Structure 1
Amino acid sequence: MTRTVLVTGGTSGIGRAIAQRFAADQAEVFITGRTPETVEQTAKELRVHGVVCDAADSGQVEALAARLNELDVLVNAAGGLPQATSGEGSALEVLLAQWHANLAQNLLTAVLTTTSVQDKLTRGSSIISIGSIGAERRGGSYGAAKAALGAWNASLSAELAPKGVTCNVVSAGYIADTNFFHGQLSDERRSALLEETHNKRPGTVDDIAQTAYFLASQGARHITGQTIHVNGGAFTTR
């Protein structure tokens, strides 16, 4: 039976890899992004449906939800490290803008999208949100937003699991070949990130895509309310 999958932030990096993985399984996949040209090009390349949508905009999210009928898998992959603010205004105003941007991009995108499609989820469906190792340490406002994502996911699971919907976070460590650092990752910082891992390699977008795909499988129906860490051992749970 063909599944319907929605991947926010599906035009690049982790989101694109996840969309591609589900598309390879013959799912009907919808991807979103904020730039029309990028959405159109990615949808054509992956042979999926593309929808222009800023997942932090409630009106655009409502319009997105109106296009969907039943939904089997929701992947909240929209997010990332916001571009640095211009520095205009007082120090507190700049700080406030930075926190608002991180909360909007990395928490509210998932909350708004999930809420908008919640009544379309089928029994046996899955919600997967992309978190970050930044929630565990040195994450600043970005890490705080991702930590809040995990807390929200736990409460969401308590609400939806009785209805047959699993809810999990995939917390990614350092993933190579994404635009997360906006091209500003130094060789020294990259070496330090690799040294933190146990297997001494960067993660790949496919590492995250395969984990997300598993969490939406029949083999993962008793996994819910969890944060799954995929970071090569850079952060371990006990």
Structure 2
Amino acid sequence: MILAGKTVLITGGGTGIGRATAQRFAEEGADVWVAGRSRETLDETAAMIGAKCTVRVADVTEAARLEEVIDSMPALDVLVSNAAVSFAVESLVDPLEQWRKMIEVNLWGTVNACRAAGKRMVRDGRGGRIVIVSSILGELAEPGSTPYGMAKAAINQLARQLACEWAEHGILVNVVAPGFVLTPMSFASGVNELESEWCKQFFLNPERPRVPLLRPGTPEEIAEAILFFANPRNTYCTGVTLTIDGGLSIKF
């Protein structure tokens, strides 16, 4: 098993990509710790995994709490910084508080997680792997996603900077940037926007598809990409942003 004997922390581990990654890592022998704001969803993840999963309630915007969680772990070999929020923000209409909330979680929450993990990895002197979950909107643009895209672009650069600065400590930092993925964040008002008519016509229309594979991705597919970067056999790949979007970003 690829991750046998490794201890990993996954933020936002209660649902979606975080949950799928926790399950996949456990299958590969890792001792998995999941952190997030909802005890209920974290417990559901732990129940799926079993004894190899530890739950910690933590908000990524609270740096001290993240450090407390990481310091309580027996070891830290891999961080998956996955926690995020997503909602539409009209740049000329919605209050700046909506921008701040998005950036606080998606950017500063990632900074907090990476700094806490980096400190622990340097202190332990064993190196490690950090995988940040970003989005294609860190490179592309879409109406209503300005603060979200800003934050995701910033964490892409954060990964490059940390990969450069922390390489001397044996810490590899990489990014997985998903496109449309079937997760709870794709649901609004109880409706899955990825199965709406506008989405099917604009992105999945077989006559001129924006997504060549003609379907959204799954959390399990993103988890496989995250596993690649977390693999201890990955010893020379750092500072990379890997896009997983079914070909959307290559289309004109």
Q: TM-score, normalised by structure 1?
A: 0.89
Size of the alignment, in residue pairs?
A: 231
Further displaced range: 185-194 or 28-37 = 185-194
Equivalent residue number for residue 230 of structure 1: 244
Equivalent residue number for residue 101 of structure 1: 101
Matches for 1:194-213 after TM superposition, within 5 Å: 194=204, 195-213=209-227
Residue by residue over 1:36-80, the C-alpha shift from the partner in whole angstroms, topping out at 9 and shown as x without a partner, is: 222223212222111101111223223212312321110001003
Determine if contact 2:9/2:33 at 8 Å carries over to the other structure: yes
Residue by residue over 1:119-168, the C-alpha shift from the partner in whole angstroms, topping out at 9 and shown as x without a partner, is: 32253421000011112222311011100110111111111112211101
What is the CA–CA distance in structure 2 between the aligned matches of 1:143 and 1:181, rounded to whole Å? 19
SS in 1 for 2:78: strand
Matches for 1:115-154 after TM superposition, within 5 Å: 115-121=115-121, 123-135=126-138, 136-138=140-142, 139-154=145-160
Equivalent residue number for residue 54 of structure 1: 59
1:66 to 68, 71, 76: 71
Q: CA RMSD in A?
A: 2.2
CA separation of 1:28 and 1:236: change in aligned 2, threshold 3 A? same
Show structure 1 runs of 5+ residues with no match: 86-90
What is the CA–CA distance in structure 1 between the aligned matches of 2:57 and 2:89, rounded to whole Å? 24
Determine if contact 1:171/1:229 at 8 Å carries over to the other structure: yes
Matches for 1:29-40 after TM superposition, within 5 Å: 29-40=32-43
Equivalent residue number for residue 176 of structure 2: 170
What is the CA–CA distance in structure 2 between the aligned matches of 1:24 and 1:198, rounded to whole Å? 31
What is the CA–CA distance in structure 1 between the aligned matches of 2:233 and 2:64, rounded to whole Å? 36
CA separation of 1:219 and 1:2: change in aligned 2, threshold 3 A? closer
Equivalent residue number for residue 78 of structure 1: 83
Determine if contact 1:17/1:205 at 8 Å carries over to the other structure: yes
**Offset at 1:223?**
1.1
SS in 2 for 1:30: strand
Determine if contact 2:17/2:223 at 8 Å carries over to the other structure: yes
1:127 aligned partner, one-letter code: I
2:101 aligned partner, one-letter code: A
SS in 2 for 1:80: coil
What is the CA–CA distance in structure 2 between the aligned matches of 1:83 and 1:4, rounded to whole Å? 35
Equivalent residue number for residue 197 of structure 2: 187
> Identity rate of aligned residues, in percent?
32
1:53 aligned partner, one-letter code: A
CA separation of 1:148 and 1:67: change in aligned 2, threshold 3 A? same
What is the CA–CA distance in structure 2 between the aligned matches of 1:191 and 1:220, rounded to whole Å? 39
CA separation of 1:171 and 1:216: change in aligned 2, threshold 3 A? same
Show structure 2 runs of 5+ residues with no match: none
What is the CA–CA distance in structure 2 between the aligned matches of 1:164 and 1:236, rounded to whole Å? 33
**Offset at 1:83?**
7.7
Further displaced range: 114-123 or 143-152 = 114-123
1:8 to 11, 18, 23: 11
Determine if contact 1:81/1:181 at 8 Å carries over to the other structure: no
What is the CA–CA distance in structure 1 between the aligned matches of 2:48 and 2:152, rounded to whole Å? 30
**Offset at 1:112?**
0.3
**Offset at 1:82?**
4.2
Determine if contact 2:228/2:234 at 8 Å carries over to the other structure: yes
